[in-house]
């Protein structure tokens, strides 16, 4: 799989073998290529409103408990960790706006991060070809996206009310986290499945520390915290956890 994904980089660089490629990666001249390596190796598959029960819980449990504080001048912060092309972050924004339209005028921000600079750049543009929009109900598509019929494909661009809620940044989840504030909810779905168990075990306490005491953590459908109570969480639904303590 690795060879298959990297062969196009060898062709682009006019290199004859992987030994030459690894020498480039380890040299000062390979600094920019290391980003291309990350982009080639990461799996970027996402859909709008994927695993919809998480968005229902976000609005039905978290937002309903936060809305009065928001109206009084409070803030709501959500992190989409491993945001891929941006569908997850924009789904969060649409879910919140659907549940409480006044969210548009309150202090609500969504941080969306990914290790792959290519998908971060794509997400920042907030422009999705027709093949990307599966999962968006038609009424939300009309409300939150502007359609452009280009010569070769139809493109849907997120409107300003949606884009202003989301901030995209490049971030290695296993590196340092520069964020200073805590979050009300974290979506980290279909990311840790690619990590070994020791790496996952190091990640759970970090999520706990950056969540508010009753904050929520959502994982992908194939991901679990083996013993959530040992790392400061308890289960509140399928692949859904709440911080305690």
CA distances, 206 to each of 89, 121, 183, 200 (Å): 21, 26, 12, 10
Catalytic residue among 77, 114, 116, 184: 114
Catalytic (active site) residue 114: yes
- Which stretches does DSSP call E strand in the chain? 75-81, 107-114, 127-129, 145-149, 154-158, 166-170, 183-188, 211-219, 233-237, 240-243
Catalytic (active site) residue 214: no
CA–CA gap between residue 245 and residue 234 (Å, rounded): 10
Active site residues: 5, 114
């Amino acid at each position: 799989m690795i060879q298959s994904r990297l062969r196009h980089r060898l062709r682009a660089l006019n290199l004859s073998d992987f030994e030459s490629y690894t020498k480039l990666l380890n040299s000062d001249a390979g600094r920019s290529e290391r980003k291309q390596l990350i982009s080639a190796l990461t799996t970027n598959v996402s859909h709008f409103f994927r695993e919809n029960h998480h968005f229902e819980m976000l609005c039905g449990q978290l937002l309903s408990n936060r809305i009065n504080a928001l109206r009084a001048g409070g803030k709501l912060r959500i992190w989409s960790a491993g945001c891929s092309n941006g569908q997850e972050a924009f789904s969060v924004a649409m879910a919140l706006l659907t549940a409480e339209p006044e969210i548009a005028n309150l202090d609500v921000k969504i941080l969306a991060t990914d290790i792959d600079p290519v998908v971060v750049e794509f997400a920042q543009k907030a422009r999705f070809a027709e093949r990307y929009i599966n999962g968006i109900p038609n009424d939300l598509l009309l409300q939150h996206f502007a359609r452009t019929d280009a010569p070769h494909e139809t493109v849907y661009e997120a409107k300003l009310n949606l884009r202003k809620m989301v901030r995209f940044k490049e971030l290695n989840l296993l590196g340092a986290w520069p964020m200073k504030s805590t979050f009300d909810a974290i979506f980290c779905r279909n990311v840790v499945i690619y990590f070994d168990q020791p790496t996952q075990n190091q990640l759970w306490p970090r999520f706990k520390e950056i969540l508010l005491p009753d904050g929520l953590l959502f994982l992908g459908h194939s991901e679990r915290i083996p013993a959530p109570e040992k790392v400061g969480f308890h289960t509140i639904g399928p692949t859904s956890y709440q911080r305690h303590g």
